[in-house]
Amino acid sequence: MSFQKIFGTLLNKKQKRVDITLMTVATQHSHGQNESLPTFSFKAGSLPIAVKLALIITTVIIVGMGLLSLFILGNQSTVFDQQTDAYASALGDQLSTAAIEPVLAGDLQAIDQLTSNLVDNEGIEGVAIFSDQSKMLSSIGINPEQAPPLILPEQPLYWHIGETNKIGLTSYVREITFRDLTVGYCLITFDRSFMNTAYGNTIRTISAITALMVLLGIIVAAFLSKQLSRPIKHLVEGSQEISRGNYRYRFQERRQDELGQLMGSLNTMTEGLLRKEQVEQTFSRYVSPNVACALMNNLEKIHLGGSHVEATVLFADISGFTTLSEGLEPTAINSLLNEYFTLIDQIAGKHGGHIDKYIGDCAMILFGVPLHDKEHGINGVSCGVEIQQVIKEYNLTRKKQRKITVEFSIGINSGTMLAGNMGSERRMEYTVVGNAVNLASRLSSIATAGEVIVTRELHDTLGLAALFETYQSGTIELRGKTTPVEVWHIGHQLRMISSPELFDIHTPSIVH
């Protein structure tokens, strides 16, 4: 596998991890789970990609240099053998030529002079000259026992001497010819240890060069791996920032390769996530966070219409607001409403409710929708009682500060109501409608300042008499109803509700 393919494979694996992390971020963000976004971390025992690249590049260099060294050494061995054969052939040719006349003349002294002169050369252990009948005419040094005709000129004789410290020898035979007639033979024996020493020197030289190249390769691999992994490290750091919800993070590096394209795509994605987050934050200020989350999680289901649900609705209306507003400037009225409605919103959230809308000086609070809550009834009543208590304490503080105070009239009712998107295709809002909602609005209109009232059905169903100070405050006539509706006042809470009691509370459908 080539280096480009290896690097591409590592890069693709790392890019897939980054893509998976970013998709997880986008999915969890759309579901409103920013608090639990995963962090990007290496697994225990895993190596950084820079180290992996360095190891791969180093391995490739070592394997390549090793194979190259083996090839060079193998070739060098062949070259040494060829050089030895050529050297032996040249000496044999010289000796056979010089020995023609002495052999033909039978001049043994001249023959001995030839052999003694040649044996003094480095690496030559023995020299011998034979007649055409293989009779030894002269011999000096170490020579084999075989007769020259038994040693082929093209096939040197490899042999050794010594039992413990063996010395490798190679003998070459050359014919002494005169006018195409063989008149004798000359034999030259070489010490292979001389050739082995030269071969060993060559091996050590090549090994030293190989080690030096490997060392340089490791340095280059470390440098290249650091340079190649740096943009990947930046991608990992960027993905970690994005996974932590930092959608303002941007890659500043400008590259003209695939990594540069990936960084540009991530910048575009984070910019989109930032805009989406800003839209959601803005959206959640105009509608309740619960409604915003439900809508964002079901974008394909945003259309007019709804479904019947069991829920509780609370109307908190400022008593005498019309008269009060006549003597105040618009900015003072706005500031007054914002301060009181901020308190009511905090209390509603504490009891699992949310502000559905503000209708002038009235706040409409929902419980059990769009998120199901089987305890919506008791939560709504507890919220209404706490609103009156907090407003009473808040008014004492404002009076000390010589500020204007207001009081709220609260009506609460539970029952079946239609919850969904109301309005038109171009402009709609999520709300609830129905008789149960209308009755809660009517109750708030007849309640006195600082009072919380509910219907008889809600009072008896929740067993409010055991939890709060309650009494019947009257009846009201409803259009279309022959029987008046009993109205009950809810006062201070007598005791806290235990978990088993809360679990046993059951709120059936109450239709008015």
pTM above 0.75, yes or no: no
Q: Considering just the CA atoms, what is the radius of gyration of the chain in Å?
A: 52
**Cα–Cα–Cα angle for 149, 133, 130, rounded to 5 degrees:** 70
pLDDT score, position 316? 96
Residues 6+ apart with CB under 8 A from 418: 306, 307, 308, 309, 432, 433, 434
Structure-block tokens of residue 403: 């500020």
Q: 44 pLDDT exceeds 70? A: no
pLDDT score, position 384? 96
- Angle of the 3-30 helix axis to the 49-98 helix axis, nearest 10: 180
Distance CA 443, CA 121 (A): 130
Task: Determine the average pLDDT of the residues in 8-19.
Answer: 42
The type of residue at 56 is I
pLDDT score, position 267? 83
Alpha-carbon distances of 308 from 352, 416, 420, rounded to whole Å: 20, 6, 9
How would you write 447-482 as a 3-class SS string? CCCCCEEEEHHHHHHHCHHHCEEEEEEEEECCCCCC
Q: Which of 137, 90, 85 is nearest to 114 (CA)?
A: 137
Residue 191 contacts residue 88 (beta carbons within 8 Å): no
Distance CA 401, CA 99 (A): 138
Of the CA atoms within 13 Å of residue 165, those in its CB half-sphere come to 1
Task: Determine the average pLDDT of the residues in 267-283.
Answer: 76
pLDDT score, position 405? 93
pLDDT score, position 296? 64
pLDDT score, position 395? 95
Q: 125 pLDDT exceeds 80? A: yes
pLDDT score, position 299? 59
**CATH of span 301-504:** 3.30.70.1230
**CATH of span 1-11+36-237:** 3.30.450.20
- State the burial class of residue 432 (Cβ atoms within 10 Å of its Cβ: 0-12, 13-18, 19+): buried
Task: Determine the average pLDDT of the residues in 470-495.
Answer: 84
**Cα–Cα–Cα angle for 421, 440, 339, rounded to 5 degrees:** 80
- Angle of the 3-30 helix axis to the 258-286 helix axis, nearest 10: 0
Residue 211: band (very low, low, confident or very high) from pLDDT cuts 50, 70, 90: confident
Stronger pLDDT, 166 or 141, i.e. the higher one? 141
Prior bond to 370 cis, omega within 30? Answer: yes
Residue 51 contacts residue 223 (beta carbons within 8 Å): no
pLDDT score, position 455? 94
Query: Read out DSSP for 102-125?
Result: HHHHT-HHHHHHHHHHHHTSTTEE
Residue 240 contacts residue 39 (beta carbons within 8 Å): yes
Instruction: List, for residues 421-456, the tens digit of each pLDDT value.
Output: 888 877 778 889 999 999 999 999 999 999 999 999
Percent of the chain with pLDDT over 90: 31
Of the CA atoms within 13 Å of residue 231, those in its CB half-sphere come to 17
Q: Where are the domains of the chain?
A: 1-11+36-237, 301-504
**Cα–Cα–Cα angle for 313, 317, 319, rounded to 5 degrees:** 155
Alpha-carbon distances of 476 from 377, 408, 456, 458, 488, rounded to whole Å: 21, 20, 11, 15, 11
Structure-block tokens of residue 492: 């201070």
pLDDT score, position 68? 82
Q: 317 pLDDT exceeds 90? A: yes
Task: Determine the average pLDDT of the residues in 279-288.
Answer: 64
pLDDT score, position 301? 60
Residue 119: band (very low, low, confident or very high) from pLDDT cuts 50, 70, 90: confident
Task: Determine the average pLDDT of the residues in 23-43.
Answer: 44
Query: What does pLDDT average to over the chain?
Result: 80
Gap between the terminal Cα atoms of the chain:
78
Task: Determine the average pLDDT of the residues in 476-499.
Answer: 78
CA pseudo-torsion sign 121, 124, 125, 128: negative
Structure-block tokens of residue 107: 């001049």
Distance CA 511, CA 308 (A): 12
**Cα–Cα–Cα angle for 133, 137, 143, rounded to 5 degrees:** 95
pLDDT score, position 29? 44
